[in-house]
Structure 1
Amino acid sequence: MKPQAAVIIPAAGFGTRMQCAEPKQYLQLSHKPVIIHTVEAFVFNPHIHEIVLVVPEDRVEKTKNLLVQHNLSAEKIKVIAGGRRRQDSVYLGLLALSPVNNIILVHDGARPLISQDVIDRCYKGALLQGAVIAAVPVKDTLKKSSADGTITATINRDSLYQAQTPQAIQRDLLLRAYKENGTLDVTDEASLLEKAGIPVVIVEGSETNIKITRPEDLSLAEKILRKKQVTMRIGHGYDAHRFSKERPLVLGGITIPHSHGLAGHSDADVLTHALCDAILGATGAGDIGKHFPDSDDAFKDIYSIKLLEKVISDTREKGYIVGNVDITVVCQEPKLRPYIEAMTALIAGCCGVPSEEINIKATTTEKMGFTGRQEGISCHAVVLLQRTF
């Protein structure tokens, strides 16, 4: 087995150069906080088994809530309070990690555009070299000036690099560097390693792996995200259940007052089942019956939102996130309009998207067919999944 890796994401700073009341890692970038973009990149990476997110002490609970809102697994992510300096926050993160992680990546919370390729290069580099840092060659001509601004020299840039993160280090080397130099003021982990005489090797970074430091950086990140190649997959789901007496009627996870519920092995939530099928179809993963068969008593009368959460989790493991959803419930009775807002909010929470990305509508068949005769309810769902590179 390959050595297991974890990432520490220091995000305990405030970012005064952003000139705003909110810490920069919580600012909105393409409808999500910056820190959520950063975390998602590592959640999707197969090498990363644990994430420690280090935030300001007064932001710990808010950050945990943000993770829940965006459907990011609490089992894989720890949120802890940071220290006075960045290196203190990283050390606290290191102590919070499980000792089974042999490769430790450290990545700035304010670098939300980190690519899977760079993460992979850092992980593999640490395996082979012990310690690596993502960096890009300096492109611009560098000038040295005197106190009054007069140029005194032109610096040879041939061997100069602009440091980025992740920085990836074998665990024992990082612990050694902290033991020997942890009290010194440094700007990154590589500096600690260098002072301990531990070689650090450069691996190829990315020009788009920018750090959000000033207001214009946020605008640039928005433009980069819009230009990134996006892989989209579309799925369609359909389900139908007949009415049954003495069962609650559950649609979209919401119990709706009615004389009849729906017959089925689970709670027979036809809306949620159709959505599960749409998502599974988009990733080529079969259908709901394949994953949750009615021959398995583990799913007897199960709340179908739990099935949706599992489908979403598996989909994220494949690197896909929900873009938007359109659902049509075909139902003569009862009237669903009073419950659509609650269903929308619940489904949006499960999918980790804003409520405006979930559209649920209900229609009748003008008393035609089995739904028109009030024999049951059917539902169509269409989903757009996307993965960015």
Structure 2
Amino acid sequence: MNAEHADQAQGSGPASLPADDGPRPWALLLAAGRGSRMAAATGGTSKQFLLWKDAPLYWHSARTFSRSGVVAGIIFVFPPDALARCEDEVRALDARYPLGLPWKAVSGGAERDDSVRNGLAALPKAVTHILIHDAARPFMSARLVHAVRAGLADGAVAVIPALPVTDTIKMVEDGQVQSTLPRHRLVAVQTPQGFARSELEAAHAARAAGCAAGQEQQPVTDDAMLMEAAGHTVRVVAGEKTNCKITTVEDMALLSPSPSLQPRTGMGYDVHRYAQDAGEPKARPMKLGGIAIDKAPAVLAHSDGDVLLHALCDALLGCAGLGDIGEHFPDADARFDNISSAVLLDQVLTRVRRAGIRPCHADMTIVAQKPRLAAFKDAIRHNVARLLQLPPEAVNVKATTEERLGFTGREEGIKAYAVVSALYDPPAAADAGECHHAS
């Protein structure tokens, strides 16, 4: 599949954010493991297929990659004997929770590095960078995806997220301590890990050649090991305490519903004036819910002027008691000049989720005499659902006029209302440095 024809891959669609000057990597999602250590507790179900919030664990990572806005496509790597079933499952999930990205499903191999090589072979030829993620880490954030990708954009050929080790670590052999390792030099490594494709493929090829020559090879637990062996510098960025991996039976408690969920409601409102001339300073082409509206008046705004996403941001902030969009992204700040409102929404989502808020429904109304929006409502609904990581049935979009009354009736501007329903899970455990996730 060539990059020029990437839109022919399964699930093709628009990315959530426009490309910038950095690389747009594809994500390689490893979901081919057998999970034998947990088989008794899961009834034989591999951990990446355990259901959480009505979807398998691997799908939560796929949705986070989609919401990040910097990933161009996804390769799913599944067990060979389950590939057809898993591909059908991804197709059904993508219909309900649209990724808005091209994707492809391929078979894994006998070992982790075999699965990675199979995934690399399925990438479009023009792809230059790759993010590799373990499907058993469903809690990663879009912020972490951005941090790893930023390291690649800065010229690194290998970037890994890691956390400082807080326990004392000792080397043990035959039940006896051999040495104590210097804790200040140790980190615990996570995924996603980012790589320049050509260098990573060369490192994998070198390992495969060594295996073919009968050379003894150390087991590979992450791809950074191969880059280290090839002599490349591996850059480290800050990981996340909440980016836990489901590895043991005890870890399954992270998937259990929290008993402390409380309902929250937030209301948002925003308005933008129409430009008299499309060339007027701060005149922006109309977008609603991240969707470009053809043949519509330009709006005056400091950001891109998406009145619907601005109202949605305020509703989300209201659920968390975090003020309003103007406090977080003031229009006097040059950093937000013509910024995508999808970027602002992503930052708002990060803040409200850190505050323990989980959005579960959004109801929005657009008020404008022109343009007519009936033809756009379905696209807006699905795109907002994708940005919020909600199924389309949890998002409602309405459009109305005011019968030529008021400033909207005089075709002087556009306004929007949003009401968000959410659940609040007090983040006490997360504050204590533990993994804690509302179901």
Shift in alpha-carbon separation, 1:55–1:288, aligned structure 2, 3 A: farther
Offset from partner CA, 1:306-331 (integer Å, 9 cap, x none): 953x23432145x3133xxxxxxxxx
Query: Which residue does 2:380 correspond to in 1?
Result: 311
Shift in alpha-carbon separation, 1:295–1:312, aligned structure 2, 3 A: closer
* Higher strand content, 1 or 2: 1
Letter of the 1:144 counterpart: M
1:63 aligns with 2:86: yes
Shift in alpha-carbon separation, 1:141–1:34, aligned structure 2, 3 A: same
Aligned-partner Cα distance in 2 for 1:150–1:208: 33
Aligned-partner Cα distance in 2 for 1:234–1:88: 50
Shift in alpha-carbon separation, 1:307–1:97, aligned structure 2, 3 A: farther
Shift in alpha-carbon separation, 1:313–1:91, aligned structure 2, 3 A: farther
Query: Which residue does 1:244 correspond to in 2?
Result: none
Pairwise CA RMSD? 3.9
Letter of the 1:106 counterpart: I
Aligned-partner Cα distance in 1 for 2:185–2:30: 28
1:133/1:163 contact within 8 Å kept? yes
Query: Which residue does 1:91 correspond to in 2?
Result: 117
TM score, norm. by length of structure 1 = 0.62
Match of 1:23 among 36, 40, 46: 46
Shift in alpha-carbon separation, 1:233–1:60, aligned structure 2, 3 A: farther
Aligned-partner Cα distance in 2 for 1:111–1:92: 21
1:131/1:200 contact within 8 Å kept? yes
Query: Which residue does 1:257 correspond to in 2?
Result: none
Gaps of 5+ in 1: 237-277, 300-305, 323-347, 359-380
SS of the counterpart of 1:158?
A: helix
1:279/1:383 contact within 8 Å kept? no
Match of 1:2 among 9, 14, 22: 22
Percent of aligned pairs with the same amino acid: 29
Match of 1:138 among 165, 168, 179: 165
How far residue 281 of structure 1 moved from its aligned partner, in angstroms, is 6.7
How far residue 283 of structure 1 moved from its aligned partner, in angstroms, is 6.1
Shift in alpha-carbon separation, 1:281–1:125, aligned structure 2, 3 A: closer
Aligned-partner Cα distance in 1 for 2:253–2:141: 19
Aligned-partner Cα distance in 1 for 2:32–2:371: 45
Aligned-partner Cα distance in 2 for 1:295–1:25: 41
2:31/2:76 contact within 8 Å kept? yes
1:283/1:315 contact within 8 Å kept? no
Offset from partner CA, 1:18-45 (integer Å, 9 cap, x none): 1331111111223322111111110111
Query: Which residue does 1:162 correspond to in 2?
Result: 188
TM score, norm. by length of structure 2 = 0.56
- Matched residue pairs, number? 284
Match of 2:388 among 312, 315, 320: 320
Match of 2:106 among 80, 85, 92: 80
2:74/2:101 contact within 8 Å kept? no
Query: Which residue does 2:71 correspond to in 1?
Result: 48
Aligned-partner Cα distance in 2 for 1:208–1:295: 41
Letter of the 1:165 counterpart: T
Shift in alpha-carbon separation, 1:199–1:92, aligned structure 2, 3 A: same
Letter of the 1:45 counterpart: S
1:144/1:154 contact within 8 Å kept? yes
2:29/2:75 contact within 8 Å kept? yes
Shift in alpha-carbon separation, 1:199–1:288, aligned structure 2, 3 A: same
Query: Which residue does 2:327 correspond to in 1?
Result: none
Matches within 5 A, 1:343-354: 350-351=392-393
SS of the counterpart of 1:91?
A: helix
Query: Which residue does 2:4 correspond to in 1?
Result: none
How far residue 280 of structure 1 moved from its aligned partner, in angstroms, is 10
1:50/1:97 contact within 8 Å kept? no
SS of the counterpart of 2:138?
A: coil
How far residue 17 of structure 1 moved from its aligned partner, in angstroms, is 1.3
Query: Which residue does 1:207 correspond to in 2?
Result: 241
1:11/1:54 contact within 8 Å kept? yes
Match of 1:176 among 202, 209, 216: 202
Query: Which residue does 1:218 correspond to in 2?
Result: 252
Higher Cα Rg, which structure: 1
How far residue 295 of structure 1 moved from its aligned partner, in angstroms, is 8.7
Aligned-partner Cα distance in 1 for 2:54–2:373: 41
Letter of the 2:27 counterpart: V
Query: Which residue does 2:126 correspond to in 1?
Result: 100
How far residue 98 of structure 1 moved from its aligned partner, in angstroms, is 1.6
SS of the counterpart of 2:252?
A: helix
2:25/2:73 contact within 8 Å kept? yes
Shift in alpha-carbon separation, 1:312–1:294, aligned structure 2, 3 A: closer
SS of the counterpart of 1:44?
A: helix
Aligned-partner Cα distance in 1 for 2:309–2:373: 22
Aligned-partner Cα distance in 2 for 1:199–1:295: 52
Offset from partner CA, 1:255-294 (integer Å, 9 cap, x none): xxxxxxxxxxxxxxxxxxxxxxx9997468985787x965
Query: Which residue does 2:179 correspond to in 1?
Result: 153
Aligned-partner Cα distance in 2 for 1:211–1:226: 22
